[in-house]
Amino acid sequence: MILDSKIPAGPLAEKWTKHKFNSKLVNPANKRKYDVIVVGTGLAGASAAASLAELGYNVKAFTFHDSPRRAHSIAAQGGINAAKNYQNDGDSIFRLFYDTIKGGDYRAREANVYRLAEVSVKIIDQCVAQGVPFAREYGGLLANRSFGGAQVSRTFYARGQTGQQLLLGAYSALSRQVATGKVRLYPRTEMMDVVMIDGHARGIVTRNLITGAVETHAAHAVLLCTGGYGNVFFLSTNAMGCNVTAAWRAHKRGAYFANPCFTQIHPTCIPVSGDHQSKLTLMSESLRNDGRVWVPATKENAEKLRKGQIKVSDLKEEDRDYFLERKYPSFGNLVPRDVASRNAKYVCDEGRGVNETGEAVFLDFRDAIKRDGKQVIEQKYGNLFDMYKQITGEDPYEVPMMIYPAVHYTMGGLWVDYNLMTTIPGLYSLGEANFSDHGANRLGASALMQGLADGYFVVPYTIGDYLAQTPPKKVDESHPEFAKVAQEVKARINRLLTINGKKTVDHFHKKLGKIMWNHCGMARTAEGLKQAKAEIQELRKEFWADVKVLGTNEELNLSLEKAHRVADFLELGELMVDDALNRDESCGGHFREEYQTPEGEALRDDENFAYVAAWKYMGEGQAEELNKEPLVFENVKLTQRSYK
């Protein structure tokens, strides 16, 4: 299959405007005849459902949470990027576009990224109109701060809870449409499969998480807004419920999966404390605006710190190595996440880590508090400091935070064209669930931007072009394909419940997570990836032979929910390894140790790997087929990334 990205012709700055004009429209009276399913109610899903209902479409919105407000979008604390140039410091749409392309190590589509930068300016106006309480300067204008990979201040924020406030804005818009009857909300309902009729997505099969009832829902188009798959690593900054199931079931029905190995490791997380943990806690990247990252300059002092023989306050300025500021003077502590994470790993591997495990570095606010005063720092980051103190028992106003990289975001996802449609006609993917905007590394504060851009400003236009060519005849759940897929879902549920093995679902998830982190995490090698592939295949066989799923289907059954998700993670994990093994280069968050510069930076191979790797499912037990979408750069020059 030739991957047609449907990128419009013409100059970069005119593509989106021309594309909107050239797209077919559905007139307002006809919009009432079309049904659209939206799976997921985070920022991408809630904004899409609200916008489509506002336009007049009939929308069904599904979430496995009890309320859309619990979507994991709330965890994006630090801010949202937009090229408003309120600080008059040289920002522009093109600069945001360039920073995003460069930050993603030149592995994203130019056209999609430029559109993202272009609509970013509208997102802020939309959210202010909804009442989102962005921070403001003394005179009342919206405030900005900096994030990694940029030398301008373009990040709008609401203290350390930006995602939560933006989600409340989208939720209010969604609730209004629920009240008008244009959106029907299905909480505590999980999508189990996609239903296709004549090659087009025409509905989904779901499981009611309270009663276990397997149900079918028909529509003219389906939107997957189901987030990322970082929980394949077990320990990540994602909420425990985050999963890949909706995207993976779509993949097995024919939707290509793109760049699955592109995983972002966030440098600013509270370090692992033991095997008892079920997730990790993210400390916002915004903290690197004022916090300075350092470790002891010598292994001896680091060892003394770990043993409690000396205190942090005993180390003089000359005993400290501010390694990011030393290596990257132009960007300092605000280098992109992949660069900051790798360098934290390097100094810890040298034996200069600072907590008991030796896997942590300091994030120190001593100088910022001296410079600006405690009250100013409290206004900016107070809730984050409180959270850190509650978790660790240490007061970051008095002693430096300790941080270490952890799995955070997945740049890979379902392949989509410029219209956000997957390789299945009528099936769209928005937000983190698709691959489209971030290349091999997402810049901080761009996740919220992409989710809202896709939901508020992209899919409301592009879905019309598809529906205008789709007869408005009602799609009926009585079609035999719905019963067939529902039966397949029930058979899968029954299979899991009747294995009756000896090991818990979490046992398998933890084992998979360790394999993925050790061999397909912050650093990868061909040898390690081959070992991981063999181990995952063995683990999957063991799972289907010896997993113990408690309870029955006809009840609230967390064990069964997890079993479905872990079964999908076991298959996804192998594809991630295959993708990492295929890509014989380093780029962004994909760091193959065989391919690095003398300074330890990622070494790309643009001649052979400047493409999107889109994988096609070929059937149970079959190797997936690699399809390539070449990446063409007409507006930026491919260069070795430098933040020095």
Of 277, 295, 276, 431, nearest to 351 by C-alpha is 295
Q: Please tell me the distance from the alpha carbon of residue 409 to that of residue 263, in angstroms, as a whole number.
A: 6
Structure tokens at 403: 């941080």
- The alpha carbon dihedral of 341, 343, 346, 350 has a sign of negative
Q: Which contiguous run of DSSP H or E holds residue 417?
A: none
Of 529, 510, 517, nearest to 574 by C-alpha is 529
Region of residue 189 (phi > 0: left; psi between -120 and 50: alpha; otherwise: beta): beta
Confirm if 523 and 488 have CB atoms less than 8 A apart.
Answer: no
**595: Cα separation from own chain's centroid:** 25
Cα distances (angstroms) measured from residue 633 to each of 106, 232, 246, 441: 9, 32, 32, 17
Residue 393: φ, ψ to 5°: 80, 5
Confirm if 447 and 432 have CB atoms less than 8 A apart.
Answer: yes
Beta-bridge partner residues of 81 = 155
Confirm if 401 and 345 have CB atoms less than 8 A apart.
Answer: no
3-class DSSP state of 342 = helix
- The alpha carbon dihedral of 557, 558, 563, 564 has a sign of positive
Residue 284: φ, ψ to 5°: -55, 145
For 14-44, b where at least 16 C-beta lie within 10 A, e where not — what string?
ebbeebbeebeebeeeebebbbbbbbbbbbb
Q: Please tell me the distance from the alpha carbon of residue 49 to that of residue 36, in angstroms, as a whole number.
A: 9
- The runs of H, that is alpha helices, within 135-185 are 162-180
Cα distances (angstroms) measured from residue 546 to each of 263, 504, 506, 536: 30, 9, 12, 15
The catalytic residue positions are 337
Q: Please tell me the distance from the alpha carbon of residue 115 to that of residue 117, in angstroms, as a whole number.
A: 5
Residue 510: φ, ψ to 5°: -65, -40
Angle, helix 110-129 to helix 15-22, in steps of 10 degrees: 80
- The runs of H, that is alpha helices, within 361-479 are 366-372, 374-392, 447-452, 459-467
- State the DSSP code for 413: E
Confirm if 116 and 453 have CB atoms less than 8 A apart.
Answer: yes
Q: Please tell me the distance from the alpha carbon of residue 230 to that of residue 336, in angstroms, as a whole number.
A: 19
